[in-house]
Amino acid sequence: MGNAEHPEEQEGPVTSDQLRLIGTPFRRVDGRAKVTGQTRFADDLSFPRMVHMKLVRSTVPHAKIVGIDTKKASEIRGVVGFLTGESMPDPFGILPVSQDEHALCIDKVRFVGDPVLAVAALTEDQAHEAALAVEVEYEPLETIATIEEAISTPEPRIHDYGDEGNLHKKLSMEFGDVDEGFDEADQIFEDILYFEGNTHLPLEQHATVALTEETDRVTVYSSTQTPHYLHRSLAKVLGLPAARIRVIACPNGGAFGGKSDPFNHEICAAKMALTLGRPVKICLTREEVFYCHRGRHPVLMKIRTGVKKDGTLTAQHLQTALDGGAYGSYGVASTYYTGALQTVTYELPKYRFESIRAFTNKPPCGPKRGHGTPQPRFAFEVHLDKIAHELAIDPAQLRLQQLVAADSVTSNWLKVGSMGLGQCIEAVVAGSGWNQRHGKLPEGRGLGLACGSYLSGAGLPIYWNHMPQSGVQLQLDRSGGVALFCGETEIGQGSDSVIAAITAEILGIDLHDIRLCVADTDLTPVDLGSYSSRVTLMAGNAAIQAAERARTLVARGAAEKLDVPARELVFAEGRVFHGENPDHGMTFQEAVVEAESRFGTLGTTGSYTPPRSPGRYRGAGVGPSPAYSYSAAVVEAEVDPATGIYRIEHVWMAHDVGKCINPALVMGQIEGSVYMGLGEAMMEEQVFRRLPKKRSGALVHKHPSMLEYKSPTFADMPPVTSYIIEDPDPNGPFGAKEVGQGPLLPMMPAVANAIFDAVGVRVDQVPIAPHMIRQAIEARERGKPGRFGPKSFPEIEFGVPLRVPTPAEGGDGKATNVDDAGVRAGTGTMTERKDAVKGEN
């Protein structure tokens, strides 16, 4: 098959089964920079004539802006400029259907911390002083603090859009005949659980530096996980062609989802730079980081499951209510995610999912590690533990006997590929001595088991398009070095190292001969960002394609010189040689010279677009992924029944990563997820309180500081035994799936289940505080159920569900009642192009 015009498309060598680098614990490519302090985070940048910017943020939770007085502020020495909302009237937001933010509030403020004005001055001190001197007059509006208040208070509306009143989103969908499924059950179990909100708490405070080169050209350096989406928002709000805006994502000092929205301060810095014609920097204070938030949604959940005597699940009805905070953010997607992945672990033949997302006057919630899935996973895994206990079935066995099959389609039309959950469960069962110890330890000591699953990248991009979700460009030069360009963003997870290693493996060269240029919208092909655990799979596959094309070119150059067919050449250890006679060959550099002599300047591209998911109903855009990772955990807890104080003594975590690209990085993600999950289970909460009426009655953040927002320290971290399970997925690069988020999911329910095994009471909410355990024990002592948790789920009229027959029922992936249920099933799914386009404007 000849293709003279595109030699890179001709048949080339095939990747050997013998991997040299992939699967080994190589040092990360940025390892040296990170341990020497040389990594340049956004706040480490400075430029001549740079000025400093501060935002004036709302001190009230919900109010009309009556007036802004900058007179006193403008008299402060060093002040060089102000911006108000009028100069940036176009709204923005991460999702096309939730364009509800302004760079600075124009008419009203919606939470304490909402930015109203930007001021720039020669020094940070002067900008700070000026910000304090700005006087803003507010006319208070009624504050909506909770999900219940949002339901009962349709007016005043926090936003003038959304499904109804102060409900941003309301949806109802049914896969198969759930009532029939409940009829088939011997018993129906019902639980109500609550997952408190929490925040990412990255150690790096968000920072942005913007500078202009020409009058209408601006460069923005920022601590962002999503430079491409920021690029689009900047173009929209600044009213500039995107080609005149350059976004460079600096390495992030931790992100965890908290830097994946376009932010007010980023847009204001760019606008201020364009206004003043000089570089502008802003670095948020830690308190402001708490206000930016976009963290875990507080979610109240009601879960009902039909179960046969032998433990087989026949149907499930899940209701979730999300407290979204003051803006849309990723919330529509988060809402769907509180239901979408319930089906990918255990066979769930019939499934109904109903959900609302409420607007409240609090910092907006969004995606945090696990995005919308840890809350329902907590509910499901605690619920299963109760079912197992009631039916006297071992909790591990209950799960193992109904695992979703590999290469199958779930009732809600998600295509599952490789599925290593069984191996994960078996590993933690063996490691923890589960069979000998669960249910048999002395009072106060217990084991809990739970599982989880996560996406290896969302199947669809955030805005509708037919373009690749990730791209890689390679440039080979006669030095033998390879420059790799990719839009992916390093947030600490090691993505730079993954794409470099994949390229080095295929070209058979040293990792350090790869030069990386990443996350720069001027120079690198688009990658959608470091979210939804997508980078290894998507950028990795793009790197494979680009590298294989480059290898074909180089092989054809070398083949002629060596007089060996190109497909028989092997690329390894910096050489290109004949597979049957390894001495017959040349260095990689010599081969590049041969290829460049023959074909001219050498460059290739690679791109990746996920396979289309079989779901065709509204809402089917959230949940599909090229591959699902699986995790199982056993947690051992020691609980003092007298005080409720508990410790986690040990964690066993197994994670099916498909294929390890670098075991050291995989271990880091597993342990990091265990840690963050323990924080969520035991202590982390982003909570609010109302000030007394005489002190304004405002709704304020309870503790926007790192001292009071409790997170685990070195002293809180238990020993962790980790098992890396490799069940390769055909869609993954070398079979790899995600590991950055999945292992967090089982932690919260495993802790709750371990506490039950230790002291026999249930805490149906997280974080689990000692007083909750104590109260549950006291309730049991009074002859009441030994339980602490929410008592009711609000009455919500969800309307006619969108009915989608399952694959087993002979469905085709489409809904059968779009006309009856279409509106209630919700606007704003990302499958509908017309919605997306409408939302853009």
Partner 1 sequence: MSEERTTRAFQVNGEDHHVSFSVHHSLLEVLREELGLTGTKHGCELGECGTCTVLIDGKPILSCLELAAECEGRQIETVEGMMQGNELHPLQDCFADLGAAQCGYCTPGILLAAQALLAENPSPTRDQIVSALSGNLCRCTGYHKILEAIEWAAARMRGDEKYRPPESAIYGDPVEVEKASDG
Provide the token pair at 662.
Answer: 């670098």
- Shortest gap between Cβ of 629 and partner 1 (angstroms)? 15
- Shortest gap between Cβ of 506 and partner 1 (angstroms)? 23
156: preceding bond cis by omega (within 30 degrees): yes
Complex with partner 1: residue 152 or 285, whichever CB lies closer: 285
Complex with partner 1: residue 50 or 235, whichever CB lies closer: 50
- Shortest gap between Cβ of 249 and partner 1 (angstroms)? 13
Alpha-carbon gap, residue 521 to 694, rounded angstroms:
51
- How does strand 63-69 pair with strand 135-140? antiparallel
- How does strand 470-476 pair with strand 602-608? antiparallel
Complex with partner 1: residue 518 or 576, whichever CB lies closer: 518
Complex with partner 1: residue 589 or 629, whichever CB lies closer: 629
- Shortest gap between Cβ of 662 and partner 1 (angstroms)? 8
- Shortest gap between Cβ of 533 and partner 1 (angstroms)? 15
Name 52's Cβ contacts closer than 8 Å, sequence gap at least 6: 120, 121, 122, 123, 124, 126, 127, 280, 281, 282
Cite the DSSP H helix spans in 524-662: 535-562, 588-599
Alpha-carbon gap, residue 275 to 280, rounded angstroms:
10
Complex with partner 1: residue 43 or 323, whichever CB lies closer: 43
Complex with partner 1: residue 514 or 670, whichever CB lies closer: 670
Residues recorded for the chain:
841
Complex with partner 1: residue 435 or 643, whichever CB lies closer: 435
Beta bridge partners of 243: none
Complex with partner 1: residue 481 or 663, whichever CB lies closer: 663
| Nearest alpha-carbon partner for 242 in 227, 252, 224, 255 | 227
**Which of left, alpha, beta for 141 (phi over 0: left; psi -120 to 50: alpha)?**
beta
Residue 475 main-chain phi, psi, to 5 deg: -130, 120
Complex with partner 1: residue 36 or 841, whichever CB lies closer: 36
User: What letters, b where the CB count within 10 A reaches 16 and e where it falls short, cover 401-436?
Assistant: ebbbeeeebbbbbbbbbbbbbbbbbbbbbebbebee
Alpha-carbon gap, residue 371 to 452, rounded angstroms:
13
Q: Give me the numbers of helices (H) and strands (E) for the chain, helices first please.
A: 21, 34
**How far from chain centre, in Å, is Cα 270?**
26
H or E element, residue 577: strand 575-578
- Shortest gap between Cβ of 300 and partner 1 (angstroms)? 27
Complex with partner 1: residue 109 or 425, whichever CB lies closer: 425
Complex with partner 1: residue 200 or 293, whichever CB lies closer: 200
What are the angstrom distances between the C-alpha of 694 and each of 690, 691, 697, 698? 11, 8, 7, 10
Residue 652 main-chain phi, psi, to 5 deg: -110, 125
- Shortest gap between Cβ of 399 and partner 1 (angstroms)? 8
Alpha-carbon gap, residue 488 to 538, rounded angstroms:
10
Alpha-carbon gap, residue 158 to 155, rounded angstroms:
8
Sheet holding 445-455, edge to edge: 445-455, 628-639, 646-656, 720-725
Complex with partner 1: residue 655 or 824, whichever CB lies closer: 655
What are the DSSP E strand ranges found in 657-742? 688-690, 699-701, 720-725
> Exposed, middle or buried, 148 (CB in 10 Å: 0-12/13-18/19+)?
middle
CA angle 162–164–170, rounded 5-degree value: 75
- Shortest gap between Cβ of 623 and partner 1 (angstroms)? 27
Complex with partner 1: residue 145 or 201, whichever CB lies closer: 201
- Shortest gap between Cβ of 711 and partner 1 (angstroms)? 6
Name 755's Cβ contacts closer than 8 Å, sequence gap at least 6: 446, 448, 637, 639, 646, 761, 763, 768, 773
Residue 86 main-chain phi, psi, to 5 deg: -60, -30
Complex with partner 1: residue 236 or 386, whichever CB lies closer: 386
Complex with partner 1: residue 106 or 706, whichever CB lies closer: 706
Complex with partner 1: residue 40 or 771, whichever CB lies closer: 40
Neighbours of 22 (CB within 10 A): 21
- Shortest gap between Cβ of 706 and partner 1 (angstroms)? 4
Matching residue, tokens 């799914």: 829
Complex with partner 1: residue 542 or 657, whichever CB lies closer: 657
Alpha-carbon gap, residue 220 to 223, rounded angstroms:
10
Reduce the secondary structure of 470-505 to three states and give it as a string. EEEEEEECCCCCEEEEECCCCCCCCHHHHHHHHHHH
Cite the DSSP H helix spans in 37-159: 71-74, 124-133, 147-152
- Shortest gap between Cβ of 32 and partner 1 (angstroms)? 6
Complex with partner 1: residue 257 or 471, whichever CB lies closer: 257
At 353 the three-state DSSP class reads: strand
Q: Please measure the distance between the N-terminal and C-terminal CA atoms of the chain and give it in whole angstroms.
A: 47
